[in-house]
């Protein structure tokens, strides 16, 4: 709409321009020249205030400017043909609406500065600095340098020098908008925009949120997608960036299938909610963040999202609903190499099934078979594997769409010929409890009358299901989490519609908000503690076994561990190579708000118990082996670097400036 209006004005304006040139050009009579008379240039007039008359600067709070302008353009035409004005005309599209109209108005204040009483005024440095602070990320997101003509020191001045605020007109409307949002009764505190965001906008929101809450949040990238987009994580903790002794860590992953987008949106909203509620003194959020380290990756597949979003926009024709449904069901599911990321993890479940009769075999910390690295490993999968190996995660949820249910491991059927077969892990009771935690706190998921999406057939469900009983597949992420690390992950299917209409996003948030919070809090269920030696030093890599559950947990760097458990009596054993075992019997009450503390002290053993040799199966390699032949480095990283180099030579937005008059704006290219 806005775009159309501008376009029409451009046409009108061009007509006007032609007229101006026509009327203005013959300064002297052609016949004078013919007769050999010299045609004198008129005396240069003293510059005067003139009407702005520039299309993209028509909403400034003033109407008069003067040429030459601050950049030295002598006429309006010259200013209009320059790359600076061209940038202002496309910046809305380039940044996907981010920082609009602030950047444009800031630029206008330099191109057509305010003129009063035949004198040019300069815009305020403080405004420039504020815009730069909040918009730098948007430029970084598209790898564009901060435009030279928005250099706050060069072209802007301080209050003392008599500056004007270029965003003056804007402030009033924004305050009005703000006031109307604040009146909504449901969310009195946190202002969240319930709309879709591009990848650039998403990353910018995450970084901005971390800037708003620097005491409790930070962002970091775990790697890049095929097309070079950052896989950006935001972390919340009272000591961001650091693992604290005994503080459990959990993660949320969204948008693994690029076309399943509600999870991505919920996680973006969740980060904004956590930050602002913490600042507003919400007790529940404060104690959650003060006792937990939370990592949120809203999009594991930004390339797929881009494809799916473009397609949904293209088929957004109400007449063509069938095509819309068809495309959104499949397009963008995989990454840019069309790899389904939830089939791309090492299939350790088959390994576990193959070895289950082996006497000493345990279903935990299974090494990645070397053969895995010779198949195609997506950079997104690689990044997540590295990530989950590097942090002692306890609990995780991974968000999808297409059904309304929480599914839990295993996803691979224990019988190769049975497609829908109940295939529990040794932690079946714990996983059911974890899955229930989300489903029961969700507005509609666990209700018997809840609308399912048809993929269960006649099986009655209460909102949770064993993955393989639903349908079997290999190479999924939750099975890998369980069999390779200490982390217990479930898959949350958020609803039938994989790409819901924007109007439904708010309802989606309302339905899931409580579940998202309760699930994070549930990481404190079960027990935790430290395994130490006789001198009081933590033992890294010690095993915590629970009788009756063939799945050990190992201790982290400083000997701390977390074991999610159901209520009841449990017999625990701690062991480590070179130490004697220690055993404890505990009773875990049904209603515990925080993890029960169980510490162990292990004595040095004279004779080493022979657990380790039996456990290691020689053909499998060891847990430490990760990409042993550098297969991934060799292929994927090179491909990625090539992509990146190509982009550096020619950023995607460069074509916008091909029609720039004179020299191309190389000042927009970043020098990294």
Catalytic residues: 493
> What is the Cα–Cα distance from 61 to 78, expressed in whole angstroms?
23
Cβ neighbour number for residue 416 with a 10 Å cutoff: 12
Contact call for residue 143 and Zn ion (CB under 5 A): no
Q: Which residue is nearest to Zn ion (CB)?
A: 400
Closest distance of CB 94 from Zn ion, Å: 31
Closest CA to 205 of 285, 268, 299, 294: 268
Helix/strand/coil percent split, the chain, to 5:
40, 15, 45
Nearer to Zn ion, 79 or 296 (CB): 296
**Which is closer to Zn ion, CB of 229 or CB of 400?**
400
Using rule CB under 5 A, residue 543 touches Zn ion: no
Where in 321-449 does DSSP place strands (E)?
Answer: 393-400, 404-408
User: What are the CA-CA distances from residue 151 to residues 124, 128, 208, 293 (Å)?
Assistant: 12, 8, 21, 39
- The set of long-range contacts for 305-308, using a CB threshold of 8 Å and a minimum separation of 24, is 305/199, 305/255, 305/258, 305/259, 305/261, 305/264, 305/332, 306/198, 306/199, 306/258, 306/332, 307/258, 307/259, 307/331, 307/332, 307/336, 308/258, 308/259, 308/261, 308/332, 308/333, 308/499
Stretch that binds Zn ion, among 122-130, 367-375, 395-403, 553-561 (CB under 5 A): 395-403
Based on CB atoms, which residue is closest to Zn ion, 260 or 303?
Answer: 260
* Calpha distance 530→240 (Å, rounded): 22
CB of 477 to Zn ion, least distance (A): 10
Question: For Zn ion, which is the closer residue by CB, 408 or 600?
Answer: 408
Min. distance of Cβ 307 from Zn ion in angstroms? 15
Report, in Å, the least distance between residue 655 CB and Zn ion: 34
Out of 257, 513, 551, 563, the only residue in the binding site for Zn ion (CB under 5 A) is 257
State in angstroms the smallest separation of the CB of 520 from Zn ion: 21
Q: What are phi and psi of 299, to 5 degrees?
A: -135, 115
Any idea what the Cα angle at residue 197 is, between residues 193 and 198, rounded to 5°? 160
> 592, 595, 521, 589: which is closest to 563 by C-alpha?
595
Interface with Zn ion by CB under 5 A: which range of 54-62, 104-112, 253-261, 642-650? 253-261
Shortest CB 260 distance to Zn ion, Å: 5
CB of 264 to Zn ion, least distance (A): 12
Q: Which of residues 95-124 bind Zn ion (CB under 5 A)?
A: none
Query: Judging by beta carbons within 10 Å of its beta carbon (0-12, 13-18, 19+), is residue 363 exposed, middle or buried?
Result: buried
Q: Which lies closer to Zn ion via its Cβ, residue 260 or residue 306?
A: 260
Window contacting Zn ion (CB under 5 A); options: 170-178, 259-267, 453-461, 651-659 = 259-267
Q: Is the CB of residue 264 less than 8 Å from the CB of residue 305? A: yes
Q: 85: closest CA among 95, 73, 97?
A: 73
Which residues have CB under 8 Å from 459's CB, separation 6+? Answer: 465, 469
Q: Which of 400, 442, 484, 543 binds Zn ion (CB under 5 A)?
A: 400
489 φ/ψ sector (left φ>0, alpha ψ -120 to 50, else beta): beta
User: Least distance from C-beta 309 to Zn ion, angstroms?
Assistant: 16
Stretch that binds Zn ion, among 135-143, 392-400, 591-599, 632-640 (CB under 5 A): 392-400
Of 148 and 326, which has the nearer Cβ to Zn ion? 326
Q: For residues 260 and 489, which CB has a smaller minimum distance to Zn ion in the complex?
A: 260
Query: In this structure, what token pair is assigned to residue 298?
Result: 């809203």
Could you say which residues in the range 578-637 bind Zn ion, by CB under 5 A? none
Asked if 260 interacts with Zn ion (CB under 5 A), we say yes
Beta carbon nearer to Zn ion, 400 or 469: 400
Q: Is 430 exposed, middle or buried (0-12, 13-18, 19+ CB in 10 A)?
A: buried
CB of 301 to Zn ion, least distance (A): 10
> Applying CB under 5 A, what is the total number of residues that bind Zn ion?
3
Question: Would you say 493 or 627 has its CB closer to Zn ion?
Answer: 493
Do residues 574 and 597 lie in contact, with contact meaning Cβ atoms separated by under 8 Å? no
- Angle between the N-to-C axes of helices 125-141 and 199-212, in degrees from 0 to 180, rounded to the nearest 10: 130
β-bridge pairing 393-400 and 488-494? parallel
Closest CA to 226 of 386, 383, 336, 342: 336
Cα dihedral 206→212→214→216 (10° resolution):
-80
Cβ proximity to Zn ion: between 257 and 365 the closer is 257
Contact (CB, 8 A) for 472 and 379: no
Residue 432 Cβ, how far from Zn ion at the closest point, in Å? Answer: 21
Using CB under 5 A as the criterion, which residues of the chain lie in contact with Zn ion when the complex forms? 257, 260, 400
């Amino acid at each position: 709409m806005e775009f159309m209006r501008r376009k029409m004005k451009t046409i009108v304006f061009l007509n006007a321009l032609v007229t101006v040139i026509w009327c203005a050009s013959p300064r002297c009579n052609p016949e004078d020249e013919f007769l050999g008379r010299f045609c004198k240039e008129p005396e240069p007039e003293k510059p005067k205030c003139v009407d702005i008359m520039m299309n993209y600067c028509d909403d400034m709070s003033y109407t008069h400017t003067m040429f030459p302008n601050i950049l030295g353009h002598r006429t309006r035409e010259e200013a209009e043909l320059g790359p600076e004005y061209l940038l202002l005309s496309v910046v809305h599209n380039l940044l996907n609406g981010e920082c609009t109209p602030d950047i444009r108005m800031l630029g206008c204040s330099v191109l057509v500065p305010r003129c009063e009483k035949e004198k040019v005024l300069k815009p305020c440095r403080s405004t420039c600095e504020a815009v730069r602070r909040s918009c730098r990320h948007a430029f970084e997101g598209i790898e564009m340098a901060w435009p030279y003509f928005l250099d706050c020191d060069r072209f802007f001045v301080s209050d003392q020098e008599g500056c004007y605020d270029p965003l003056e007109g804007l402030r009033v409307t924004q305050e009005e908008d703000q006031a109307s949002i604040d009146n909504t009764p449901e969310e009195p505190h946190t202002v969240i925009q319930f709309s879709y965001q591009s990848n650039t906008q998403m990353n910018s929101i995450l970084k901005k949120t971390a800037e708003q809450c620097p005491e409790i949040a930070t962002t970091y990238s775990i790697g890049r997608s095929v097309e070079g987009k950052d896989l950006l994580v935001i972390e919340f903790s009272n000591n961001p960036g650091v693992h604290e002794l005994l503080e459990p860590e959990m993660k949320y992953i969204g948008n693994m299938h690029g076309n399943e987008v509600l999870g991505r949106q919920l996680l973006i909203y969740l980060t904004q909610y956590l930050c602002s509620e913490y600042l507003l003194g919400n007790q529940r959020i404060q104690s959650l963040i003060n006792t937990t380290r939370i990592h949120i990756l809203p999009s594991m597949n930004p390339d797929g999202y881009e494809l799916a979003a473009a397609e949904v926009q293209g088929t957004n024709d109400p007449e063509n609903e069938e095509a819309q449904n068809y495309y959104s069901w499949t397009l963008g599911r995989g990454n840019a190499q069309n790899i389904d990321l939830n089939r791309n993890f090492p299939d350790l479940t088959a390994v576990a099934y193959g070895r289950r009769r082996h006497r000493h075999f345990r279903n935990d910390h299974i090494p990645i078979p070397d053969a895995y690295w010779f198949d195609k490993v997506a950079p997104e999968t690689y990044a997540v594997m590295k990530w989950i190996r590097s942090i002692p995660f306890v609990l995780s949820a991974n968000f999808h769409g297409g059904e309304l249910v929480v599914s839990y491991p295993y996803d691979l059927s224990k019988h190769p010929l049975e497609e829908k077969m109940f295939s529990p892990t040794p932690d079946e009771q714990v996983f059911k409890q974890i899955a229930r935690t989300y489903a029961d706190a969700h507005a509609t998921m666990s209700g018997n009358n809840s609308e399912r999406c048809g993929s269960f057939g006649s099986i009655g469900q209460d909102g949770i299901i064993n993955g393989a009983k639903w349908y079997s597949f290999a190479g999924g992420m939750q099975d890998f989490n369980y069999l390779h690390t200490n982390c217990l992950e479930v898959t949350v299917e958020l609803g039938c519609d994989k790409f819901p209409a924007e109007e439904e996003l708010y309802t989606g948030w309302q339905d899931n908000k409580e579940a998202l919070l309760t699930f994070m809090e549930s990481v404190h269920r079960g027990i935790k503690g430290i395994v130490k030696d006789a001198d009081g030093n933590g033992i890294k890599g010690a095993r915590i076994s629970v009788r009756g559950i063939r799945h050990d947990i190992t201790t982290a760097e400083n000997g701390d561990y977390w074991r999610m458990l159901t209520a009841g009596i449990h017999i625990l054993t701690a062991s480590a190579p070179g130490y004697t075992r220690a055993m404890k019997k505990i009773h875990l009450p049904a209603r515990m708000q925080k993890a029960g503390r169980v510490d162990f002290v292990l004595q040095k053993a004279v004779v080493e118990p022979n657990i380790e040799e039996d456990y290691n199966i020689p053909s499998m390699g060891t847990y430490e082996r990760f990409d042993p032949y550098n297969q991934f480095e060799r292929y994927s990283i090179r491909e990625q670097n090539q992509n990146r180099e190509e982009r550096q030579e020619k950023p995607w937005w460069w074509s916008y400036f091909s029609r720039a008059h004179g020299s191309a704006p190389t000042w927009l290219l970043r020098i990294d």
